[in-house]
Amino acid sequence: MAVFVLIHGAWHGGWCWKKVAALLQQKGHTVHAPDLPGHGKDCTPIREVTLPAYVERVLSVIAKAGEPVVLGGHSMGGIVISQVAEERPQAIRSLVYICAFLPQDGQTLLHWAEPDREGLVMPNLVFSDDKASATIKPEVLREAFYADCGPEEVERAKSLLVPQAAAPFMTAVRVTTENSGRVPRFYVECLQDRAITISTQRQMHRAAGCRQVFTLDSGHSPFFSMPEKLTECLLAAAEYSAAV
């Protein structure tokens, strides 16, 4: 059995993993899906929400696991798991990027997000007056994040989204071959994604040299629209890492 730590993306919280967590737990695995600082039920002030704060939160969860974990990250969560792997490579069995940002050393999330002209997120950001946080225009949320999800699920998700701190988007990831580079990487690409388009996903995972790429014909939220298939991808990554 494996321990999975699943990291949500921007605006979201650990709540988005409910279906996948249940499926993994039914098979006897342990699952942790924490809220990052400033997300979900965590009330950290926006000004204190940083990439290092995200990393520390995940490191604290991993430290309590008692064994190396399968660390998954969705969307923005990709920059988080990359930096966590740099800090504690020995504590991670494998990294699974789920339509996620997969940066190289010195790159920020914006390095990949800004040139993605077909994506719906960057053109529809609405910044707070102090520029410390951003939301997305409500009229594009469904198409950007939940195009293939049921209406009830979409409404529930919309009600749980929170403003996203801007600082993590602008912070460079620092990774090395010696540390994070030794952890097996897997990528789940999503063909219908309108938040991080498939062309951008493929540029990132090809540059990173992932051990295996899984393909889902889904939008940006396969944990809602295809939880069974996403679970199969996570299990395959766990099985691979257990065999090597």
> Across residues 129-135, what is the average pLDDT?
98
Distance, in Å, from the CA atom of 84 to the CA atom of 40, rounded to the nearest integer, reads 20
Give how far Cα 66 sits from Cα of 4, 62, 145, 191, 240, Å. 12, 8, 34, 36, 20
Cα torsion 57, 20, 194, 117 to 10°: value is 30
pLDDT over threshold 80, residue 120: yes
pLDDT over threshold 90, residue 244: no
Q: What is the tens place of the pLDDT at every residue in 215-241? A: 999 999 999 999 999 999 999 999 976
pLDDT at 240: 79
Give residue limits of the domains in the chain: 3-243
DSSP assigned state of 28: T
Classify strands 92-98 and 164-165 as parallel, antiparallel or unpaired: unpaired
CATH number of 3-243, picked from 3.90.180.10, 3.40.50.10860, 3.40.50.1820, 3.30.1360.170? 3.40.50.1820
> Across residues 43-56, what is the average pLDDT?
98
pLDDT over threshold 70, residue 129: yes
Q: What is the tens place of the pLDDT at every residue in 187-211? A: 999 999 999 999 999 999 999 999 9
List 69's β-bridge partners, or say none.
92
